Amino acid sequence: MKSEQPDAGPPVLEPETAPDAGAPAASAAAVAVAGGELGRASLWDDAWHDLRRRWIFWGSVAVLAVVTVMAAVPRLFTATGVNEGCDPNDSKLGPSGDHWFGTDLAGCDYYAHVVHGARPTLLIGVAVTAFALLIAMVFGMLAGYYGGILDTLIARLTDIFFGLPFVLGATVILVAFPSHGVWAMTLVLVLLGWTTMIRIMRGQVISVRDADYVQAARLLGASDGRIMTRHVLPNAIAPVIVIATLNIGHVIVGEATLDFLGVGLQYPQVSWGLQLNQAKDSFIDHPHLLIFPAVFLSATVLSFLLLGDAVRDALDPKLR
Amino acid sequence: MWRYVLRRLLQAVPVFIGTTLLIYAMVFALPGDPIQALAGDKPVPDNVLQTLRDRYNLNDPLLLQYAKYMWGLVQGDLGENYTGQSVSEMLSGRWTVTAQLAVTAWVFEMVVGMLLGTWAGLRRGKFADTLVLGGTTLVIAVPVFVLGYVAQILFGLHWQIFPTAGTDDGWPMSYLLPGIVLGSLGLSYVARLTRTSLSENLRADYVRTANAKGLSRTRVVGRHALRNSLIPVVTYLGVDFGNLMAGAIVTEGIFNLPGIGQQVFLSIQLKEGPVVVGAVTVLVLIFLLVNLVVDLLYGVLDPRIRYE
Amino acid sequence: MTAELKDDPVPAPRPGAPLLEVDDLHVRFRVRDQDVHAVNGLSYTLAEGETLAILGESGSGKSVAAQAVMGILDMPPARIERGSVRLRGEELLGLPERRRRAYRGDRISMIFQDALSALNPVFTVGDQIREMYRVHRGLGRRASRDKAVELMERVRIPSAAKRLGDYPHQFSGGMRQRIMIAMALALDPDVLIADEPTTALDVTVQAQIMRLLAEIQDELRMGMVLITHDLGVVAGVADRIVVMYAGSVAEQSPARDLYARPAHPYTKGLLASVPRLDRRGDALVPIKGAPPNPAALPPGCPFQPRCPRAEAVCSAESPPLVTVAPGHDAACHFAEEVYGAGTE
């Protein structure tokens, strides 16, 4: 066996360690503060520099841009509204010149429906993540920064909610409110989905809290609020942003699964998950009913995942 | 070690209570008539509604309701459906199917996931690594039910390697395809986690020490690096049991396996709310129990945790 | 696994060859499309029973060089460009990995700076020490256990037999470093490389560990390469000192002579920047500037941008090693003058 060539990443190089011997000792606090902020700026600069050269990054951004426009202004893609111009006689037609993606069970144009399906899917994914991120940033910061009883309380609460798996918990709760729309669903999913990010945020804050530049800011008399927003948050947020990006993808898959099970969005609403649900009895003979929404859904989720991975790799110099 | 076990057990108590209370509060304590709500737009005769209200003690204060409900749950009473049939009886014959499916999926994701992850972790940045990363990302991006359909069409109908649905061929044949579909998501995470963890550990100081001791590459990787890398993976395998339980609903539905999941799948479509609540609560409890066991196992694997 | 139970035989020593010779060693790293010159032509020899200290700042390439000698560099990204490492006359570089492995831990062993991270957290210390006997000597359970206890007693770990089953995190810093030392000494090596063995420890513990190392070295007559950035650690124990700067030798000399009369402005700067009991009242003078980026070394002498004596020739030509006294060399165009001036 060929050995001695462990192809791990770059080494933890001695030359890269800070050369502290001979460094001017002038105003340690000022240097430390500047160091913290310089470090941050160059972290994101470096990441951007790195991202710019990756085709995966640009590919994901392009797919997400198209899907976002589709969700915001569906009229740009189709003149047909939801459940408009449906003809039951044309049920389950395959793709053709008239109907690019064929027609669904009720004879509606499938392309138009797939276009309109982007909005609720994307909205739920982004809204759930945004609220969860907000909760994570506020409470994760407070818990990590102050510690003590508040931290214990938040940690125990997180444990409890973490004990309820996402789809399983949503199934049981959503069954109890049968007539829910996009926002009720968002609420339930936030309730079940806030725990991952808060744990990471808290851990990050704890690791940054005692850093030298934070101590220095404290010595210079900065208030807790200022330290948290100006010094801790910017240095703690990077991994949380990465997880948030990935989380949008996970929420979209979760939402689609709930739609599929029949506890998510309900007819006459339109979403990719719901289309997949309706395809379940006829996809063997009419695979287009499965393929089109599945491809759109998966491409969107994949883009979020690849985007998150790319940002993570760019932010983590160890992995370069 | 025993202090660790005791502490973990004590910590699990509030989680068990909190989680069940949460479900109970969300289902039964929200404004409106929960019994009617659980039926959706399905008409339910008044006398049945009344019986169920009594059955779920909805006239008592919330905490008492909850206590009575939990007491029932502990004794194996999961409630009744709209025709008065006991939920636990409806589920009684279904446990083995779900257990067989879950174990098949779990073993699959554990073994194949760790192997793929190790392969990629040892070849970081090479073709194998890219392949595993790309493949697992794709699997994570595709919902499990779409994977299920595609697997059913390709392996069941087209190539006819596995039975399409049902349990006629018994274990393992009938459970392999659904098990692989169910385990595919977890497999992806296990592989990615193993990969990252292993390639980080390969750079750890103690691996350098192991090399300096003149150990063979196999021993350095297999005994020193891998042992440490698998600690987070084991934790993940516990958390993932929740995904497996949810996935079982989907997979048993698609592959028509008569397990707990399929009962939930059918009951949602028949708008049998109480059955869904009862069965899913049990799945959540199983998840918590498995997690507790995994946590204890974690203490065995990582001595630093044990002696805290 | 059976293959590793029996090492390939280590060839008989060649009479007359020095214990360890490192000659013109060059190590590069390929990091983010940049070539980092970590070690540029390091040479030294180590005799039996001798302690050679390699002194340098972080980034001077001293640890990389040690890992190259040991054969545990990650390759890639590291690459040994040229040079030679000979143990009792036998060339180690370019040996097949299986042969090389037989030397590692057995003939040459190494201890590291931070014993907590250098020991595997999930195995007991007993396991980790016994692994040496089991892998290299093929000893069984009982025999390896007895050996391990004996070894732990030798490095003075109290109630060794009982502590065999403890994990690294259950020991104090000093005790952990003793475990590292025990592991390195398990097979009576000819050469011990100690890479900053006391840096992570309290001052009082540092002294105990250094004393232990010195005693054991005397007892076993092994050669020791002590890598450190700390002039204080070197003072009492080193027979000879190699001062490294930017990956190459700045100066090498018997220890006493180096302290008394440095011949390189860098060494002089180092001595002036640490407090000394015999020079109370003198102001401490730091060396200006920072060590050069090893990916972009300055032309000529690498120390030239920081050197108070630098002249035009220094940035034009890299200085050769000049012998100023028997066994005392310095890589400086003005070595004679600096040496002549003493430490004033």
The Cα-based distances of A285 to A95, A261, A293, B145, C180 in angstroms read 13, 21, 16, 17, 68
Q: What is the structure's pLDDT at B123?
A: 87
Question: Does any domain span residue C14?
Answer: no
Q: What is the structure's pLDDT at A6?
A: 33
Output DSSP code: residue A90.
Answer: G
User: Would you say the C-alpha torsion A141, A144, A145, A150 has a positive or negative sign?
Assistant: positive
Q: Is the pLDDT of residue A168 over 70?
A: yes
| A15: nearest CB among C77, C97, C294 | C294
Fold of B94-272+288-301: MetI-like fold (1.10.3720)
Lowest pLDDT segment from A136-145, A272-281, C11-20, C230-239? C11-20
Interface check A149 vs B, CB under 8 A = no
| Closest residue in chain C to residue B216, using alpha carbons only | C4
| Closest residue in chain C to residue A8, using alpha carbons only | C74
Residue that the structure tokens 């499309």 belong to: C33
pLDDT digits 0-9 by tens, C159-169: 878 888 888 88
Which percentage of chain B shows pLDDT scores above 90?
14
For each of the domains in chain A, give its residue range(s) and CATH number, in order of start. Answer: 110-319 (1.10.3720.10)
Interface touch C59/A19, C-beta < 8 Å: yes
Exposure of C268 in the CB half-sphere (CA atoms within 13 A):
22
Residue B140: closest CA among B113, B175, B174: B113
Distance from CA of C290 to the nearest CA of A (A): 6
Q: What is the structure's pLDDT at C153?
A: 85
Distance from CA of B299 to the nearest CA of C (A): 11
Contacts of C196 in chain A (CB under 8 A): none
Q: Is the pLDDT of residue A221 over 90?
A: no
Mean pLDDT of C156-177: 85
Strand order in the sheet with C34-46: C34-46, C20-31, C78-87, C90-91
Q: Is the pLDDT of residue C32 over 80?
A: no
The Cα-based distances of B109 to B112, B156, B179, B185 in angstroms read 5, 21, 9, 8
Interface touch A21/C289, C-beta < 8 Å: no
Distance from CA of C31 to the nearest CA of A (A): 6
d(CA C241, CA C257): 10
Q: Are B101 and B182 in contact (CB under 8 A)?
A: yes
pLDDT digits 0-9 by tens, A102-111: 777 777 777 8
- A242 vs A96 pLDDT, higher one: A242
| C97: nearest CB among A3, A10, A20 | A3
Can you tell me whether residue B235 is helix, strand or coil? helix
Question: Does any domain span residue C164?
Answer: no
Q: What is the structure's pLDDT at A27?
A: 32
Residue A191: closest CA among A176, A203, A205: A176
Q: Is the pLDDT of residue A230 over 80?
A: yes
Contacts of B208 in chain C (CB under 8 A): 67, 72, 112, 118
Mean pLDDT of C179-199: 86
Q: What is the structure's pLDDT at A62?
A: 93
Q: What is the structure's pLDDT at A40?
A: 52
Give the N- to C-terminal CA distance of chain B in Å, as an integer.
9
d(CA B291, CA A145): 29
Strand order in the sheet with C223-228: C108-111, C191-195, C223-228, C51-55, C240-245, C248-254, C328-331, C321-325
Q: Are C220 and C35 in contact (CB under 8 A)?
A: no
Mean pLDDT of all residues belonging to chain B: 84
Number of domains in chain C: 1
Q: Which of A51-60, A249-258, B67-76 has the highest mean pLDDT?
A: A249-258
Q: Is the pLDDT of residue C152 over 70?
A: yes
Question: Does any domain span residue C228?
Answer: no
Q: What is the structure's pLDDT at C279?
A: 62
Contacts of B301 in chain C (CB under 8 A): 122
| B157: nearest CB among A178, A284, A299 | A284
Interface touch A4/C97, C-beta < 8 Å: yes
pLDDT digits 0-9 by tens, B97-133: 888 899 999 999 999 999 999 999 888 888 889 899 9
Can you tell me whether residue C191 is helix, strand or coil? strand
Q: Is the pLDDT of residue C288 over 80?
A: no
Q: What is the structure's pLDDT at C1?
A: 40
Pick the residue of B24, B124, B145 with the most A CBs within 10 A to test the interface with A by mutation.
B145
Can you tell me whether residue C343 is helix, strand or coil? coil
Q: What is the structure's pLDDT at A303?
A: 94
Measured in degrees and rounded to the nearest 5, phi and psi for residue C241 equal -130, 135
Q: Is the pLDDT of residue C78 over 60?
A: yes
Interface check B130 vs C, CB under 8 A = no
- B295 vs A139 pLDDT, higher one: A139
Residue that the structure tokens 């890219």 belong to: B130
Q: Are C83 and C23 in contact (CB under 8 A)?
A: yes
Contacts of C101 in chain A (CB under 8 A): 3
Q: Where are the domains of chain B?
A: 1-91, 94-272+288-301
| Closest residue in chain B to residue C68, using alpha carbons only | B212
Q: Is the pLDDT of residue A177 over 50?
A: yes
Q: Is the pLDDT of residue A300 over 90?
A: yes
Q: Is the pLDDT of residue A7 over 50?
A: no
Contacts of A8 in chain C (CB under 8 A): 74
Q: What is the structure's pLDDT at B180?
A: 92
Question: Does any domain span residue C238?
Answer: no
| B145: nearest CB among A176, A179, A257 | A257
Q: Is the pLDDT of residue A226 over 90?
A: no
| B227: nearest CB among C110, C122, C183 | C122
Q: Which amino acid is at A2?
A: K
| Closest residue in chain B to residue A254, using alpha carbons only | B143
Q: Is the pLDDT of residue C255 over 70?
A: yes
Which percentage of chain B shows pLDDT scores above 70?
97
Q: Is the pLDDT of residue C340 over 80?
A: no
Q: Is the pLDDT of residue A128 over 90?
A: yes
Identify the helix (H) or strand (E) that includes residue C54. strand C51-55
Distance from CA of C326 to the nearest CA of B (A): 35
Q: What is the structure's pLDDT at A2?
A: 35
Q: What is the structure's pLDDT at B31?
A: 62
Question: Does any domain span residue C219?
Answer: no
Interface touch B302/C121, C-beta < 8 Å: yes
Mean pLDDT of C103-108: 86
Output DSSP code: residue B80.
Answer: B
Mean pLDDT of A148-171: 87
Confidence of residue C280 (pLDDT cuts 50, 70, 90): low
- C290 is in which domain, residue-wise? 262-275+284-343
d(CA B162, CA B183): 16
Q: Is the pLDDT of residue A24 over 80?
A: no
Pick the residue of A63, A159, A164, A189 with the most B CBs within 10 A to test the interface with B by mutation.
A164
| ipTM (interface predicted TM) | 0.85
Distance of CA A224 to the CA centre of its chain: 29
**How do C34-46 and C20-31 pair as beta strands?**
antiparallel
Interface touch B210/C101, C-beta < 8 Å: no
Contacts of C78 in chain A (CB under 8 A): 11
Q: What is the structure's pLDDT at C6?
A: 45
B contact chains, 3+ CB pairs < 8 A: A, C
Mean pLDDT of A158-166: 85
Chain C residues bordering chain A (beta-carbon distance below 8 Å): 29, 31-32, 36, 38, 57-61, 63-64, 71, 74-78, 97, 100-101, 229, 286-291, 293-295, 306
